[in-house]
């Protein structure tokens, strides 16, 4: 390009915010390469499934849906918050939202794409996909999902794109060092934006209307996902509150995903001036509120049938509370809801740092105890089959109360650490929330299918249990890698922190601090 | 602004027209070409008018001895792929009384079918003669119908079936359902092709005990393999017939007569053997937990 000398350069602030576009070290390429490898491996697994049919999965007539559908619910859930949160904060005029709206909306975009793929992967006859158009029947919840998800994908993509136009125009005008194809891309996508008052007015108007429209669409998406299950008669799915329950779970996991992304970008591109601790504090409050709502729904959803123990639901509830799924269920409740909420609240207590005055409550002894416990239990369980014959049952040497004690010890020892690093606390809590969210999706799909009305009888070997195969795990890993690839790719192509919107606001650090803890208008 | 009566009627008529045009859903209850409505039926007995048929099945649990001839006949007739049993014989035991009996379970051909409601492509639909049909050449394999069916009456072709149209050279006919496609859902369809020929469904004809009756509710007559034809209403009323999981409101077309004074050996106390067929070699055979054999959850009157 010969006109390069006429092009104005980025300001220092813009350089900083555009670091994700311009910078790219060995680490970035290694990460992208690794993710690409995992994604391609997922494609190999899918090719295997296409060739041999769904028989290569662990699914059979009883457990007819498995991790694919769990992934579907999970990704759609994660997608939930981005556009919704951004719309609510925009409508309520919460100024602190400005630096994080785009990274939240991009999560919606990436995870919706991956979530929408999952039912396709689960289909027995993907070659007959067009039958959904040719013979589609509106009374099937599958059609509701297709309509709702495509609407949400369109709406949230627009919602992501429209406020990006001024930034794209800025890149068009000033990204002199960029390759030609990028400048052509930005020129095309910025739609002739000249930053005139009329254009600004139009953009604001569009965003207001979009923000109002996107909220009911977002709520509808996860409601109809839940109705896939809720419209059947099966124990555990036959529930009237499944819609709002799924919505609350989606909001919780989606907000956690936003916090994870905030922490990752802040760390990777040194954005501490723009994504401040105040942002994590506010998002933490949001996560606490959503977690409490989700915990309440969980309690209501399980208590009402558990109180009655009706015939139809007894087998399912027993399996979940005290049967084969009990460990997973209680682990999920503990690490997916309770622990994140504790991590977000307890480290704020003023006397927490004093815990370290107790020598035993420093991280080193607690870590040493945990390591000892882990090594001892591995060694003992490996050695015990031989020694049991000699009359020694080594497994009983470690009483069952040791594990909770070690866990509480570790937790107390790390509380002061989290007190000193609130961002890390929020990031760890949000990762736990999303891990627990996936496990919960699995617990929604599988135990119900293993507890049908009629007893499971005459099932061929392997048909009465569910053991996901390497194909399912590979495709799941590939989907996660695909999600991250889309997300990272987005941040490499487009400014992940809105430049013009943060310029419009008061200097970010001041704005965040001014609003303080009490005066959070949006929450 | 006031809405005049005329305007209201106009709008309402427009909406009704739009609904009628725009909702392909109504095809669920519309017979498809070459099926239901055109089935040439044997002439009804003299004195009985009306061409309409409402097929029903009656299972006399007092007569069923669990020999599974019905399952074998069905599997042979339709070349049912391994792992599936379109009529499965359950071993039931009431935990409170210890009452044990055999329970043959075909598709219930529900009048309020949960599977038909959820199918996104109309691959399963309700015929006017009561049969819930299945078109596996249209099925997309989402398995929603299997999830929706409370009777476990549907199976899926997880692997390539032996009898595909390509291998057998036979065209696919949903009324015979003798060739199968990978990645599709299948189930019992009351053998409409045999009914058309004036024969009993394969399972009914094969039952050595005469425990299965089949017939037309409009005629009020059901017949078993022994050639006994009895009044449907009398049979069901006198012997306190019931339907499986009546409380779910699925309105099945299969009636059960309770196992009073059973004429058969009771199911053995040990757990039922698995069906013959495609297991996965890689995964060790897990024992079905004994407590699942027959909890009271199975059968309600």
| B27, B155, B286 ranked by CB distance to A465: nearest | B286
- Mean pLDDT check: name the lowest of A32-36, A194-198, B102-106: A194-198
Calculate mean pLDDT across residues A454-463: 89
Tokens of A503: 């310029």
pLDDT of res. A401: 81
> Biggest alpha carbon distance in chain B?
78
What is the DSSP annotation of A329-367? HHHHHIIIIIHHHHHHHGGGSTTGGGGGGSGGGSHHHHH
Strands B185-187 and B132-134: unpaired
Probe site for chain A from B152, B155, B281 (most A CB atoms < 10 A): B152
Q: Is B152 on the interface with A (CB under 8 A)?
A: yes
CA of B18, closest CA in chain A: separation in Å?
A: 14
* Residue B156: strand pairing partners: B185
CA of B132, closest CA in chain A: separation in Å?
A: 16
Calculate mean pLDDT across residues A416-437: 90
Which residue matches tokens 């003669």?
A: B129
| A269 or A472: which leads in pLDDT | A472
pLDDT of res. A405: 85
Calculate mean pLDDT across residues A500-510: 59
CA of A137, closest CA in chain B: separation in Å?
A: 5
| Dist CA B108 CA B123 (whole Å) | 17
Q: Is A449 on the interface with B (CB under 8 A)?
A: yes
Calculate mean pLDDT across residues B193-212: 94
CA of A306, closest CA in chain B: separation in Å?
A: 16
Chain A residues close to B89, C-beta within 8 Å: 458
In contact, A198 and A133? CB cutoff 8 Å: no
pLDDT of res. A361: 80
pLDDT of res. A7: 54
State residue B155 phi and psi, 5-degree precision. -130, 165
pLDDT of res. A92: 85
Q: Is B88 on the interface with A (CB under 8 A)?
A: yes
CA of A400, closest CA in chain B: separation in Å?
A: 26
Give contacts of A 296-315 with B, CB under 8 A: 311-312, 314-315
Residue B202: closest CA among B12, B64, B75:
B75
Distance in angstroms between the alpha carbons of the first and the last residue of chain B: 57
Tokens of A357: 């005055």
| B5 or B227: which leads in pLDDT | B227
In contact, B276 and B111? CB cutoff 8 Å: no
Q: With a cut of 90, say whether residue A12 has pLDDT above it.
A: no
Q: Compute CA distances B178 → A27, A116, A439, B78, whole Å.
A: 58, 35, 41, 4
pTM of the model: 0.85
Chain A residues close to B274, C-beta within 8 Å: 458-461, 463
| A390 or A203: which leads in pLDDT | A203
- Mean pLDDT check: name the lowest of A315-324, B36-45, B267-276: B36-45
pLDDT of res. B275: 63
Residue A74: closest CA among A334, A268, A256, A304:
A256
Distance in angstroms between the alpha carbons of the first and the last residue of chain A: 48
Q: Tens digit of pLDDT for each residue in A174-209?
A: 777 778 888 888 889 988 888 888 888 999 899 889
| B256 or A368: which leads in pLDDT | B256
Probe site for chain B from A458, A465, A469 (most B CB atoms < 10 A): A458
Q: Is A105 on the interface with B (CB under 8 A)?
A: no
User: Inter-chain contact A232–B183, Cβ cutoff 8 Å?
Assistant: no
Q: Is B278 on the interface with A (CB under 8 A)?
A: yes
Q: Categorize the per-residue pLDDT at A311 as very low, low, confident or very high, splitting at 50, 70 and 90.
A: confident
Calculate mean pLDDT across residues A273-290: 89
Q: Which long-range contacts (CB under 8 A, 24 or more apart) does A140-144 make?
A: A140/B117, A140/B118, A140/B119, A140/B120, A140/B144, A141/A224, A141/A227, A141/A228, A141/A231, A141/B118, A141/B144, A142/A228, A142/B118, A142/B120, A142/B142, A142/B144, A143/B120, A144/A224, A144/A227
DSSP character for A394? Answer: G
Task: Provide the number of CB pairs (under 8 Å) joining chain A to chain B.
Answer: 205
Residues B243-255 as b or e (16 or more Cβ within 10 Å = b): bbbeebebebbbb
This model of the complex carries an ipTM of 0.86
Most confident of the following: A206-215, A408-417, B38-47, B144-153: B144-153
| B157, B279, B283 ranked by CB distance to A467: nearest | B283
Q: Which long-range contacts (CB under 8 A, 24 or more apart) does A467-473 make?
A: A467/A58, A467/B283, A468/A57, A468/A58, A468/A66, A468/A67, A469/A56, A469/A57, A469/A58, A469/B282, A470/A45, A471/A45, A471/A46, A471/A48, A471/A49, A471/A56, A471/A57, A472/A45, A472/A57, A472/A58, A472/A66, A472/A67, A472/A68, A473/A67
Q: Is A139 on the interface with B (CB under 8 A)?
A: yes
CA angle (A266, A268, A272) in 5-degree steps: 30
pLDDT of res. A4: 44
Q: Categorize the per-residue pLDDT at B8 as very low, low, confident or very high, splitting at 50, 70 and 90.
A: low
Q: Tens digit of pLDDT for each residue in B50-94?
A: 468 999 999 999 999 999 999 999 999 999 999 999 999 999 988
Calculate mean pLDDT across residues B201-207: 95
Which residue matches tokens 């009656």?
A: B58
Q: Is A66 on the interface with B (CB under 8 A)?
A: no
| Dist CA A314 CA B33 (whole Å) | 45
Most confident of the following: A296-300, A385-389, A516-520: A296-300
User: Inter-chain contact B25–A61, Cβ cutoff 8 Å?
Assistant: no
Q: Tens digit of pLDDT for each residue in A69-90?
A: 999 999 999 998 888 888 888 8
Q: Tens digit of pLDDT for each residue in A427-455?
A: 999 999 999 999 999 999 999 999 999 99
pLDDT of res. A390: 60
Q: With a cut of 90, say whether residue A516 has pLDDT above it.
A: no
Q: With a cut of 90, say whether residue B281 has pLDDT above it.
A: no
Q: Tens digit of pLDDT for each residue in A104-116?
A: 899 999 999 999 9
Q: Find the helix packing angle between A470-493 and A67-91, rounded to 10°.
A: 30
Q: Is A453 on the interface with B (CB under 8 A)?
A: yes
What is the residue-averaged pLDDT of chain A? Answer: 86
User: Inter-chain contact A460–B278, Cβ cutoff 8 Å?
Assistant: yes
Q: With a cut of 90, say whether residue A276 has pLDDT above it.
A: no
Q: Categorize the per-residue pLDDT at B280 as very low, low, confident or very high, splitting at 50, 70 and 90.
A: very low
pLDDT of res. B89: 95
Calculate mean pLDDT across residues A41-48: 96
User: Inter-chain contact B292–A143, Cβ cutoff 8 Å?
Assistant: no
Strands B55-60 and B254-257: parallel
Tokens of A480: 């996660």
| Dist CA A209 CA A509 (whole Å) | 29
Q: Tens digit of pLDDT for each residue in B139-171?
A: 999 999 999 999 999 999 999 999 999 999 999
pLDDT of res. A522: 39
Q: With a cut of 50, say whether residue A472 has pLDDT above it.
A: yes
Q: Compute CA distances B61 → A113, B69, B99, whole Å.
A: 52, 15, 12
User: Inter-chain contact A461–B23, Cβ cutoff 8 Å?
Assistant: no
Q: Compute CA distances B299 → A239, A305, A318, B150, whole Å.
A: 22, 20, 19, 12
Q: Is A61 on the interface with B (CB under 8 A)?
A: yes
User: Helix/strand/coil (H, E, C) string of chain B?
Assistant: CCCCHHHHHHHHHHHHHHHHHHCHHHHHHCCCCCCHHHCCCCCCCCCCCCCCCCEEEEEECCCCCCCCHHHHHHHHHHCCCCCCCCCEEEEEECCCCCCEEEEEECCCCCCCCHHHHHCCCCCEEECCCCCEEECCCCCCCCCHHHHHCCCCCEEECCCCCCCCHHHHCCCCCCCCCCCCCCCCEEECCCCHHHHHCCCCCHHHHHCCCCCEEEEECCCCEEEECCCCEEEHHHHHHHCCCECCCHHHCCCCCEEEECCCCCCCCCCCCCCCCCCCCCCCCCCCCCCCCHHHCCCCCCCCC
């Amino acid at each position: 390009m010969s006109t390069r000398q006429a092009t104005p350069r980025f300001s220092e602030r813009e350089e900083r915010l555009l670091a994700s576009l311009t910078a790219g070290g060995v680490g970035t390429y290694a990460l992208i390469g690794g993710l690409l490898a995992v994604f391609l491996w997922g494609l190999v697994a899918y090719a295997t499934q296409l060739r041999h049919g769904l028989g290569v999965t662990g699914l059979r007539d009883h457990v007819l849906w498995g991790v694919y559908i769990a992934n579907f619910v999970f990704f759609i859930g994660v997608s939930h918050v981005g556009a919704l949160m951004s719309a609510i904060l925009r409508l309520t005029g919460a100024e602190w939202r400005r630096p994080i709206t785009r990274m939240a909306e991009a999560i919606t975009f990436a995870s919706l794409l991956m979530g929408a793929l999952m039912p396709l992967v689960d289909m027995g006859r993907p070659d007959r996909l067009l039958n959904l158009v040719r013979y589609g029947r509106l009374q099937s919840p599958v059609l509701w999902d297709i309509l709702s998800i495509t609407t949400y994908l369109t709406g949230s993509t627009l919602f992501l794109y429209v406020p990006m136009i001024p930034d794209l125009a800025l890149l068009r005008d000033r990204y002199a060092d960029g390759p030609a194809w990028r400048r052509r891309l930005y020129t095309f996508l910025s739609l002739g934006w000249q930053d005139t008052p009329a254009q600004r007015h139009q953009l604001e108007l569009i965003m207001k209307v979009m923000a109002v429209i996107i909220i009911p669409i977002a709520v509808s998406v996860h409601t109809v996902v839940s109705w896939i299950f809720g419209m059947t008669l099966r124990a555990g799915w036959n529930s009237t509150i499944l819609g709002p329950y799924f919505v609350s779970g989606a909001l919780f996991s989606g907000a956690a995903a936003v916090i994870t992304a905030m922490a990752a970008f802040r760390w990777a591109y040194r954005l501490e001036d723009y994504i401040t601790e105040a942002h994590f504090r506010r998002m933490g409050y949001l996560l606490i509120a959503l977690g409490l709502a989700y915990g309440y729904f969980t309690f209501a959803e399980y208590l009402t049938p558990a109180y009655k123990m009706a015939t139809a639901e007894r087998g399912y509830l027993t399996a979940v509370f005290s049967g084969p799924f009990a460990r997973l269920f209680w682990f999920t409740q503990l690490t997916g809801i309770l622990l994140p909420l504790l991590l977000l609240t307890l480290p704020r207590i003023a006397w927490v740092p004093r815990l370290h005055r107790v020598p035993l409550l420093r991280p080193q002894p607690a870590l040493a105890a945990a390591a000892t416990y882990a090594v001892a239990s591995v060694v003992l369980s490996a050695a015990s089959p031989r020694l049991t014959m000699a009359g020694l049952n080594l497994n009983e040497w470690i009483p069952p109360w040791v594990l909770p004690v070690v866990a509480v010890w570790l937790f107390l020892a790390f509380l002061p650490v989290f007190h000193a690093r609130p961002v890390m606390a929020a990031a760890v809590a949000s990762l736990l929330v999303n891990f627990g969210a996936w496990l919960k999706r699995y617990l929604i799909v599988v135990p119900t299918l293993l507890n049908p009305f009629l007893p499971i009888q005459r099932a061929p070997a392997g048909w009465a249990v569910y053991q996901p195969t390497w194909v399912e795990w590979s495709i799941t890993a590939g989907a996660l890698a695909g999600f991250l690839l889309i997300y990272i790719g987005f941040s490499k192509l487009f400014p992940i922190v809105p430049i013009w919107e943060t310029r419009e606001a008061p200097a970010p650090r001041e704005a965040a601090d001014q609003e303080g803890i009490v005066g959070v208008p949006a929450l | 602004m006031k809405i005049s009566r005329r305007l209201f009627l106009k709008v309402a008529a427009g909406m009704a027209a739009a609904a009628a045009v725009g909702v392909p859903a109504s095809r669920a209850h519309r017979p498809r070409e070459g099926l239901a409505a055109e089935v040439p039926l044997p002439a009804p007995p003299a004195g009985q008018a009306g061409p309409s048929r409402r097929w029903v099945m009656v299972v006399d649990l007092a007569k069923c001895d669990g020999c599974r001839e019905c399952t074998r006949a069905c599997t042979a007739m339709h070349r049912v792929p391994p792992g599936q049993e379109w009529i499965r014989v359950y071993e039931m035991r009431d935990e409170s009384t210890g009452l044990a009996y055999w329970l043959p379970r075909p598709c219930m051909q529900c009048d309020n079918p949960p599977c038909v409601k959820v199918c996104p492509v109309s691959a399963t639909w309700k015929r006017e003669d009561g049969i819930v049909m299945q078109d596996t050449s249209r099925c997309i394999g989402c398995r929603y119908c299997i999830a929706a069916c409370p009777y476990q009456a549907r199976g899926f072709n997880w692997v390539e079936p032996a009898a595909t149209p390509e291998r057998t050279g036979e065209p696919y006919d949903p009324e015979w359902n003798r060739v199968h496609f990978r990645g599709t859902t299948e189930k019992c369809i009351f053998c409409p092709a045999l009914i058309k020929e004036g024969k009993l469904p394969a399972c009914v004809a094969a039952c050595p005990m005469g425990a299965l009756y089949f017939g037309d509710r409009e005629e009020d007559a059901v017949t078993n393999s022994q050639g006994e034809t009895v009044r449907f209403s009398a049979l069901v009323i006198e012997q306190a017939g019931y339907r499986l999981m009546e409380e779910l409101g699925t309105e099945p077309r299969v009636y059960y007569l309770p196992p009073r004074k059973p004429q058969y050996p009771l199911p053995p106390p040990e757990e039922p053997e698995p069906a013959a067929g495609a297991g996965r070699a890689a995964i060790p055979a897990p024992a079905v937990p004994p407590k699942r054999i027959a909890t009271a959850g199975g059968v309600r009157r």
